[in-house]
Amino acid sequence: MLKIGSTLVLEKIDTTDRGKCVRYRAKVIELKDGMIYIDYPINEQTKRTDIFPVGTTFKAIYVTAESAFTFSTELIGRAILTVPSLKLHMPKPDDVSKIQRRQYVRIQTSTDVAMYGVQTDVPPISSVTVDISGGGLSLLLPEKHAFTEGMQVKLYIAYYLQKSGPAFLEATGSIVRLVKNERSRKNTASIEFVEIHERDRQAIIRFCFERQREQRKKGLRIR
């Protein structure tokens, strides 16, 4: 379910540019009285805020640990909370649709990955994956870091395919869960891909299949 701190992706049709879909990102800062309060949305391309008249309609998307959901909403007005905010209409539960996602083979394997915050000054990290699939990955976090659940991140992932050799790809993801293993004392972040080129997703799927074959030969467990 949508909650305070969630990242909301807003899509709007640009009537001045041949019906082009423009995407924005905003954070939910309050939920009350049938309203969703968000900070000012950032245009994904320009990295700036835009001006929206009251009555502007959006297609909204948000991600949870289990799935992704979408609903239609409308700008109701503006408000001043801890920061200047916009008020969106809160949908009824029956008006929220689950986005069906393909099930991907998730492989426990280590490959190099760098992670950056999309809209924040959070220091980037270089790490390794714990597991990876065509839908997302988990990676190790240092003991001290500034990443939070719901944060949008840029990922730069290294992988190796038998036919083409080593390569890198870029994807945008959403941190759906932060976990600290009390036994190993290791911090991990579970990240779901939000934006990734289909060719890159297919490369990850191929990478997973190749690692899967290797692990089966070695008798390792695959989740």
Integer Cα distance of 63 and 174 in angstroms: 7
Q: Give the number of other Cβ atoms within 10 Å of residue 19's Cβ.
A: 8
pLDDT, mean over the chain: 85
pLDDT at res. 102: 53
**SS3 helix, strand, coil % of the chain, rounded to 5?**
10, 50, 35
The beta-strand segments (E) located in 15-164 are 20-32, 35-39, 42-43, 57-63, 68-80, 84-89, 97-99, 107-108, 112-117, 125-133, 136-141, 152-161
pLDDT for 154 beyond 70: yes
Q: What are the tokens at 149?
A: 């659940």
Q: In a 3-state reduction of DSSP, which class is residue 83? A: coil
Query: Letter for the amino acid at 172?
Result: T
pLDDT at res. 222: 46
CA dihedral (72, 75, 79, 81) in degrees, to 10, reads 20
Integer Cα distance of 38 and 69 in angstroms: 17
Q: What are the tokens at 132?
A: 């990876």
> What is the tens place of the pLDDT at every residue in 37-48?
999 998 877 888
pLDDT for 52 beyond 60: yes
Integer Cα distance of 219 and 213 in angstroms: 10
Integer Cα distance of 161 and 189 in angstroms: 25
pLDDT for 110 beyond 70: yes
**What is the band of 78 on the pLDDT scale with cuts at 50, 70, 90?**
very high
pLDDT at res. 18: 56
CA 167 to chain centre: 22
pLDDT at res. 164: 86
- Residue indicated by tokens 């379910």: 1
Cβ(129)–Cβ(171) below 8 Å? no
Task: Give DSSP secondary structure letters for 161-182.
Answer: ETTTEEEEEEEEEEEEEEEE-T
* Top mean-pLDDT range of 8-12, 84-88, 181-185, 219-223: 84-88
